[in-house]
Structure 1
Amino acid sequence: MKQLVFIHGGETFDTYDAYLSALREWDYDPTKEFGERWKNSLQEELGEAWQVLAPSMPSKYNAKYVEWCIWFEKVLPHLRDDVVLVGHSLGGIFLAKYFSEHTLLVSIAGLWLIAAPFDTEDTDYSLADFTLPESLENVSKQAKHIVLYHSTDDPVVPFPALDKYKEKLPGATVRIFSDRGHFLQERFPELIEDIQSL
């Protein structure tokens, strides 16, 4: 059975006060709380030949890199060779940073970074302790295939982040969209097709 690990996105803040301010400003939308998203249908779309692991990362509204590392490392003993890893938004930069610092004991068949932030240039958000190191060479060494997805109309992560990843991960395949925003749609057939083509 093939394996896929999905790491969801989240929010980061430099200070607890900044986090509290954001909580006060955000609106609650009950339609988004349990809305249908492609990440929730990965198992269904990929089928019985796949095992999808989708850990709920700690404190997603005030994420801390070290906390995410601790929880992610609880998943690692369950992985087998040729695992596929998919990170969306903050989950993408988490995987890039984690594998720049650590070497997995099993082989990575594919790594997908979807709408992943690269840095805080041209944005008003913080990456806190999720900031990438200078080199992502260890990421390239570990993943047999790296695929970068970004949409030109992403309102959250500026499109130039894609170019920065392309520069640091020169062997990566790039998929550019023009109408997906921050990839919050119900279905993601291109992702399913790419994963199944491995």
Structure 2
Amino acid sequence: MFLINALAEAPPSRKLAGLFLIGAPFAGAGGWPSEDIRPTTELGARLPTTTPIYLYHGSKDDTAPFAHIDLYEKAIPGAIVHRLDGRDHQLNDDLAEVAAGVRALI
């Protein structure tokens, strides 16, 4: 949550191959309130256009509600979204899908 919003505020000076968010809470309307993050409905428009965004969220996440992935998908059009059925906040300690996504970039 903090990283994606920090990148929207100050894009990196280097090109990133991709950004992978796992069970990330959404700050803003419909998500969590935050005193540190200024929520924006234009999150995707403020991110580097050359950086693909990958979202992974388990349906059994009891830390960040599963609906938060829908909020991210709406705020970041073009994000690659992975809804993982039956997985918890740590994806049941199985990052196989994330690792496959990273490997596909290299």
| Shorter-chain TM-score range | 0.7 to 0.9
Contact 1:100 1:135 in 2 (8 A): no
Contact 1:96 1:132 in 2 (8 A): no
Larger % of helix: which? 1
Contact 2:58 2:83 in 1 (8 A): yes
- The alpha carbon displacement at 1:133 in A equals 2.7
Aligned counterpart, 2:102: 195
Decide which of 155, 159, 173 is 2:80's aligned counterpart.
173
Aligned counterpart, 2:11: 103
Q: Distance in 2 between matches of 1:180 and 1:195?
A: 19
C-alpha change, 1:121 and 1:138, in structure 2 (3 Å) is closer
- The alpha carbon displacement at 1:131 in A equals 4.4
Structure 2 residue 90 is the aligned partner of structure 1 residue 183 = yes
Q: Distance in 2 between matches of 1:152 and 1:169?
A: 20
Aligned counterpart, 2:67: 160
- In structure 1, runs of 5+ residues without a counterpart are 1-92
Contact 1:149 1:174 in 2 (8 A): yes
The structure that has the greater radius of gyration is: 1
Higher relative contact order (CA 8 A, sep 6+): 2
Decide which of 92, 114, 119 is 2:27's aligned counterpart.
119
Residue identity matched to 1:129: D
Q: Distance in 2 between matches of 1:106 and 1:132?
A: 24
Q: 4+ runs of 1 displaced by more than 2 Å?
A: 119-123, 125-128, 130-134, 184-187
- In structure 2, runs of 5+ residues without a counterpart are none
C-alpha change, 1:131 and 1:159, in structure 2 (3 Å) is farther
1:130-184, Cα deviation, whole Å (9 max, x unpaired): 34333211215251x1111111111111111111111111111111111221016
Paired residues, what number?
Answer: 104
SS of residue matched to 1:147: strand
Q: Distance in 2 between matches of 1:117 and 1:193?
A: 23
1:56-87, Cα deviation, whole Å (9 max, x unpaired): xxxxxxxxxxxxxxxxxxxxxxxxxxxxxxxx
- The alpha carbon displacement at 1:187 in A equals 3.5
